[in-house]
């Protein structure tokens, strides 16, 4: 058998050419262009492909192992793609896969001659043991497939850059999206037993420590102790939705959490503001952290010496932190992911990603309606959290339906107007202030500041209502117990 890492050229395989000028290719399962467009030889290992197909004919269980990782498009030769596809269809119908059934299925689709006939199917099992081990061959075929896809992406990018029909940013965004798609199709985690997880953790004690030891913080604290007690903080890989009606303090909550994590936990935080400008956010940050009236700070009114000192001290802390703000409007999930990935590479880590707010993120392509577009963006946010291994806090706007009820508190059903946010999120929190609806002049300042954090969904814990304070002049939230 040839070296498993050989480059296979088209003319090295008699009667089988990857470029195939004759028979039509199988229906594409991806948006990538046809492999036959490249003039150079393609990365491939034909022997590994034949071994996988032959192993399936000898032992049908081999197909399940292969199908967990491979798709028909991962095979370089058209004949092998057709064979694997028909094998998959037979397996889906719970029928046996052997030379007789496979040749019949190929004949039924007028493909038997295209794959080399029954003689070629019989040759696939030559020299193989009755139960061949194919894990290494699967890895090789997948690796060569990914290399071919990378070549195609780069080739298409060079062509687009050369004909000058697209802007540089447009080409870069498309390439990043296609590269991400290829990366997601790489061989990754498989089914794993609890024993494997314990072994990876380093034994029983390290595995159980975060579960049975209450002192071990499972997630990064947001700074709001009562809420963290219920939710466990900000866990990596989770999507946390913080939703409210307009003017309830969504942005204030998002920027407070970002600042608390960056300043108190030394976290690397990326804040994507699709609504407010960087300048407005930075002024809010200064005012809230310096405890200076935000209206006075933003309008340029006369500030006392003490207020100026507070703002200077707050600025020193913020400058020393690793809080990064991007105020590009109408970003797509792909753009947010790319920028977050670059920041993670630059800093060596990324601890928190905040998006303000979800309904302003665009899918980047035409959708049937706005609801579906929000669904796509919500799903992308969850995928981003898992891919980057970072908690993603996405702020969201609640529909008007809550204001039509006697009890104005938002509920999960109010999010259904905005796509599949409820299904994708690990935690859903609503911000509700009764003072927003109750204009009673006799209400005290403490009562006006009272804010409910309604934890309506919590995968890892209970749903409940916790209370904190909203200090409007500083546009910041504080713990109720301390009130400082």
Rg (CA), the chain: 28
In whole angstroms, how far apart are CA 356 and each of 5, 134, 327, 339? 47, 47, 10, 15
The half-sphere exposure of 462 on its side-chain side, counting CA atoms within 13 A, is 7
**227 burial type by CB count under 10 A (0-12 exposed, 13-18 middle, 19+ buried):** buried
Q: What single DSSP character describes residue 220?
A: B
Respond yes or no: is residue 441 known to be catalytic. Answer: no
Residues 6+ apart with CB under 8 A from 315: 286, 290
Which H or E run includes 342? helix 333-347
Q: How far apart are CA 428 and CA 225, in angstroms?
A: 17
- Residue 397 three-state SS: strand
**Would you state the structure tokens that stand for residue 382, as one six-digit string?**
């969850």
As given in the structure block, the two tokens for residue 417 are 């107007």
Whether the CB-CB separation of 108 and 137 falls below 8 Å is answered with no
**Catalytic-labelled residue, pool 12, 173, 181, 275:** 275
Question: Which residue pairs, CB below 8 angstroms and at least 24 apart, start in 140-144?
Answer: 140/4, 140/5, 140/45, 140/48, 141/45, 141/48, 141/49, 141/52, 141/70, 141/74, 141/75, 142/69, 142/70, 142/74, 142/186, 142/187, 143/187, 144/43, 144/44, 144/45, 144/48, 144/76
Separation of alpha carbons 437 and 432, rounded Å: 10
C-alpha to C-alpha distance for 468 and 451, rounded to whole angstroms:
5
Cα 226 to chain centroid, rounded:
28
Q: Is-contact 242 254, C-beta < 8 A? A: yes
Report phi then psi at 458, rounded to 5: -155, 100
Of 232, 237, 243, the C-alpha closest to 210 is 232
Long-range own/partner contacts, residues 12-18 (CB < 8 A, 24 or more apart)? 13/46, 13/77, 15/116, 16/46, 16/77, 16/79, 16/116, 18/42, 18/44, 18/76, 18/77, 18/78
- Active-site positions read 275
């Amino acid at each position: 058998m040839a070296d498993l890492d050989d480059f296979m050229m088209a003319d090295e395989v008699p009667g089988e050419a990857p470029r195939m000028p004759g028979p039509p290719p199988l229906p594409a399962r991806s948006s990538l262009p046809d492999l036959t467009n490249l003039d150079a030889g393609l990365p491939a290992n034909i022997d590994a492909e034949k071994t996988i197909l032959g192993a399936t004919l000898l032992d049908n269980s081999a197909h399940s192992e292969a199908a967990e990782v491979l798709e028909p498009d991962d095979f370089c030769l058209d004949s092998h793609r057709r064979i694997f596809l028909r094998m998959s269809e037979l397996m889906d119908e719970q029928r046996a896969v052997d030379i007789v059934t496979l040749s019949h299925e190929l004949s039924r689709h007028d493909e038997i001659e295209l794959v080399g006939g029954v003689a070629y199917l019989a040759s696939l099992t030559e020299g193989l043991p009755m139960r061949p081990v194919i894990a290494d061959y699967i890895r090789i075929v997948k690796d060569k497939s990914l290399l071919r896809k990378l070549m195609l992406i780069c080739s298409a990018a060079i062509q687009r850059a050369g004909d000058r029909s697209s802007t540089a940013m447009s080409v870069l965004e498309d390439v990043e999206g296609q590269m991400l798609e290829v990366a997601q199709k790489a061989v990754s985690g498989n089914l794993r037993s609890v024993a494997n997880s314990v072994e990876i953790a380093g034994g029983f004690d390290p595995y159980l420590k975060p579960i049975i030891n209450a002192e071990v913080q499972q997630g990064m604290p947001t700074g709001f102790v009562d809420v963290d007690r219920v939710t466990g903080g900000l866990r990596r890989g989770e999507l946390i939705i913080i939703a409210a009606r307009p003017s309830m303090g969504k942005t204030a909550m998002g920027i407070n959490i970002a600042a608390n994590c960056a300043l108190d936990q030394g976290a690397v935080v990326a804040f994507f503001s699709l609504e407010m400008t960087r300048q407005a956010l930075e002024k809010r940050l200064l005012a809230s952290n310096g405890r200076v009236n935000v209206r006075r700070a933003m309008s340029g009114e006369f500030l006392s010496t003490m207020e100026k000192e507070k703002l200077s001290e707050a600025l020193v802390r913020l400058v020393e932190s690793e809080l990064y703000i991007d105020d590009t409007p109408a970003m797509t999930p792909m753009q947010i992911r790319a920028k977050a990935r670059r920041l993670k590479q630059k800093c060596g880590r990324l601890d928190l990603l905040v998006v303000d707010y979800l309904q302003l993120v665009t899918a980047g392509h035409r959708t049937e309606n706005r609801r579906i577009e929000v669904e796509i963006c919500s799903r992308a946010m969850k995928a981003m959290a898992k891919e980057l291994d970072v908690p993603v806090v996405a702020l969201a706007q609640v529909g008007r339906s809550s204001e039509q009820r006697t009890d104005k508190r938002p509920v999960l059903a109010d999010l259904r107007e905005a796509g599949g946010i409820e299904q994708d999120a690990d935690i859903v929190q609503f911000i509700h202030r009764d003072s927003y609806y109750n204009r009673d002049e006799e209400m005290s300042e403490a009562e006006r500041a009272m804010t409910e954090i309604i934890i309506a969904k919590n995968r890892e814990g209970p749903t409940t209502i916790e209370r904190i304070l909203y200090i409007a002049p500083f546009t910041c939230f504080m713990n109720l117990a301390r009130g400082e």
